[in-house]
Structure 1
């Protein structure tokens, strides 16, 4: 029996994630409500409340909790090449077409010039520059 046979699942919406001043991401533990940082879930499989009570080598600013939840993240995907990008997609443009872009002339799959390359170099290095 795998750990996921009897597990309860929840889909995490963008507003379920919290970010602290140091840039660490967390969610609320579904069992006890304490903070469950991304890295503690990945490394230890537990929320910060559980770790505060049971793990001496992890320093946390969280009240110790009697939590029995074992946590993990799963990433699921379905390949759907016919699906068009939505406006919510990361990097979605403002509806303009690619016909007027600077990438004209770049063959499909050939890549794009590096953004930090000097003007006129198109991201290439001459043999005598090496």
Structure 2
């Protein structure tokens, strides 16, 4: 009987430790994305389309769940991150009457963020033509680049 209790307690400790590690990993993803990122290169499939496309292109993810995207025009809104599926959702609020949510597949490391738009509807392009935007970190945390 005491052997069964010891086995059950051991299994409980291992399970709770594994769950804590999963939870810590999920928390780290949202924390890793916070800060400012500059476009380093743009890829079409595996072909590099542009390196350092323009020095003024950046995106910032803030602690309050908002983002600012400075590309050819300035966009801002709220963002959500699904860590389990590596999906980022940007809800543009540039035009309040025409708010849209854009879904991105992301690969996130300490100093690199790769974003690929997720096709919706029936017009899915071949994966070799899929655009990828590679960003490098320029600022950690929630300090703003331009206010």
Same fold (TM over 0.5): no
Answer with 1 or 2: which has the greater Rg.
1
TM norm structure 1: 0.31
RCO higher in structure (CA 8 A, sep ≥6): 2
User: Would you tell me which structure has more helix in proportion to its own residues?
Assistant: 2
TM norm structure 2: 0.28
User: Would you tell me which structure has more strand in proportion to its own residues?
Assistant: 2
